[in-house]
Structure formats: C-alpha cells, structure tokens
Amino acid sequence: MQILFVLSSLFRFKDSRMEDVWLVDFYAPWCGYCKKLEPIWKEVGAELTRSGSPVRVGKMDGTAYSGVASEFGVRGYPTIKLLKGELAYNYKGPRTKDDIIEFANRVAGPAVRSLPSRQMFEHVLKRHSVLFLYVGGESPLKEKYTEVASELIVYTYFFSASEDVLPESVTLHELPSVVVFKDGTYFTYDEYEDGSLSSWVNRERFQSYLPIDGFTLYELGETGNTALPCSVKYSAKSSLMLSCRDFQFGHMEGNDYINSLIMGEVSVPSIIILNTSNEQYFVPAEPVEDLEQLLRFFSSVLDGSAPAFGGDGIFQRIKRVAYDARSTIMSVFRSSPLLGCFLFGLPLGVISLMCYGICTAESDDDTELMKRDGFTDEEEEEGEEEEQQRLTAGAEGEEEEDAEKIEQKSPTEKKVD
C-alpha cells in the first residue's frame, strides 16, 4: 500500500483532490528545512495509513508546480496544507509527527462533532484541555458556531450537545449557548460583552496558564486580543493562578528569547508583561516578593500608570534592525571565529580594494593622457635636461662667434674699440 504520494502528476492530483482529503507538503529541493521534515513526513504517512485514516499524504515540488503552489497561497517552504473539498487549511504548529497527525485527524473530520451522551462528554472533557461546546437546538447562533468551527478547527475541536448531556454542576442561564470548558471551570459566551464569536473563541482557545515559547507568542499576537497577554518567568506557579481574565499567564524557560524580544538583559526569575499587539512590555519597578505586590503591578498596567517600554515605532524598528545585525555577527563569531573572519573580512577586503581603485583611477588617467601626448615623468625630465643643454650650447656658441668677430677686425677697428 502506498503511504506517501509524490504529486508529480498534476492532472491526477486535480482529479482526485475534490474527492479525497489530502495532507500535502509543498517543498523546494534546495530548502534545508524541507529536507529536515522529509523523514518526519514519511512517518506521518505511515502512521495515518496504519490507523485507517481517510487522509492521503503527499508532497509536491512547489518550484516545479509554481502555479498550483500559488493557487493555494504557498509563500514559503515547507508549507503544510490539508485540502478538503474547496477548503485549504494551513498548518502552523510544530513540525513533529504527533502534532501533524493530530492536526490531520482533527481537520479531516466534521467541523462540529456531536456528543450524544454524558459519558461521551466526560470522556472528551478528560482528553482535551480546552473544549468548546454548543448547547441547544437549531438557531442562528448554531450557524455562526459552525462557521467559526470551519475557520478555527485548525487550532481546536468543536462539539455540540443537548442540555441533558451536561453534568448537574454546569448551569446555563439561557439556551442556546456556547460554552468553553478549561482550567477546571467553564465560561459562557455573551455577545454583548465578548464581541464576535470568532474573536471570543480565538481568545479562549488558550489555557489560563501555559508554557510559552516563540511560536506561542506568535499565536497570541494573532488572537486579536486587546488585553495584555503576559510572558511570565516566576518560580511560584501557584501564585499566578489568579482569576484575572485580562491577562494570559505562562512561563518561559531561560531568558534568551525574551532578551532578544525586548533587546535587553533580563534576570531569572523575572516577571514581564508583554503587549503582543504593539510590542510594548512592562516590568515591575521593584522586586516582587508577595502576591499583593504582584496584583498591584497588574493593576498599574491595566490602569495605564505603569511605564511602558519598547513598542513598534520607527525608532524601535531601527533599533531592532541594529540589534539583530549585532546579535547575528556576535553569534557567528562566538560559534566559529574563523568563519566570522572569512564572512565579514572578505567583503571588507573587497570594499577596500574597490575604494583604493576608485581613489587611484584619476592618477592613472593622467598618466595615460601623458602617454598619449608622448610624455611620461621620466621622459619629461629628460626633455627638460636636453632643453637646458641646448640653451647652454647656444650661449657658448654665441660667445665663440663674438670672439671670432673680434679677431677678424682690423688693427684700426680694434684700436677704436
């Protein structure tokens, strides 16, 4: 059984694409990340085939079939997309076998999955850290919920159930409702307070406290959340589990990434609040030693009294370019001094030679012009010496002629003289 299809036949792919669900890796032969993904991609194909998944796994050279790649919005390599009918879902998660398989199984199924019993609800609740549930019958809210699920199923699962499926501990004030279960509790969507359903789902798909890395911060920045998500490094996790829904709490190991983000040096442990919408960050004015100080710091950020640093202004962008350039150069020299000298010394040497050539080009032109006129510096000096000799010889000749004339005069003329 073929577990990985190399999509070299464009017409076969177009004919079967609408009938099947495809998980496609768009790659480029010269791409290093694509080569790194290749063994993982083979494992993904083998695992989905063994599990009986309807998803067909393939890969396509985006440089050879640039028209197809452009049709699906491929702008970089590798790009992983799940194609289901007219829809194309872009995978943005970590490039690991388990994460890619979980994405494929989630997106390949229905956008909204039904939970027919309380046992099934409890089973699903144990498996998912964040669970969205529509409760009620047919309604305009359910239509909106289905649309949002079709859009955001790349991030999380969506379920629907009747009211009798819910445990007695869950109380809903009205039906139909959309509920999110996470962090051992639940929150109900309110259109007047929470805005659009899509924005609310996008904000609530994260747990209240989670490990944060560069990818998670990127996702947080795309949520459209106007509150201040925070990147937190703190030794006491329990002290951060606060009932404050204006912040996204988390922890980050080490300080390398956060140092590059704020273009500064942060000690560990530290607390930093990062506004991903405008790249501003906030730090406590004094060391945080208890929960009361921590809450005061959060309140000062919310009411605007805490000083903000960073941002996305023109000055910060220029500073970012300079910082990234300096960091790149320093990392190259730290990892391989000889390579750094070659990479940066060679261009400097070429530039120096070019500058020397430009500066000496004018004198070379003058020499060439003199050569065309029949002169060089040495020839010019020789010419001056010859001219001086001619003048000296001429003067001596005149003196000899005068002497001869005097000798030729008669005695009488000489006497007169």
Confirm whether 359 is a catalytic residue. Answer: no
Q: SS3 sequence, 24-93?
A: EEEECCCCHHHHHHHHHHHHHHHHHHHCCCCEEEEEEECCCCHHHHHHCCCCCCCEEEEEECCEEEECCC
Tokens of 255: 């300080």
Answer positive or negative: Cα dihedral of 164, 166, 172, 175.
negative
Strand order in the sheet with 177-182: 113-114, 158-161, 130-135, 177-182, 185-188
* Tokens standing for residue 237: 């996790």
What is the spatial distance between Cα 224 and Cα 226, in angstroms, rounded to a whole number? Answer: 6
Instruction: Name beta bridge partners: 24.
Output: 58, 81
The β-bridge partners of 226 are none
Strand runs labelled E in 220-356: 230-233, 249-251, 270-275, 280-282, 309-310
Would residue 341 show up in a list of annotated catalytic residues for this protein?
Answer: no
Q: Token match 């039906």: residue?
A: 175
Residue 144, phi then psi, degrees to nearest 5: -60, -45
Q: In what order do the strands lie in the sheet with 309-310?
A: 209-211, 249-251, 230-233, 270-275, 280-282, 309-310
Cross-strand pairs, 131: 181
Q: How far apart are CA 219 and CA 159, in angstroms?
A: 22
Instruction: Please list the active-site residues.
Output: 31, 34
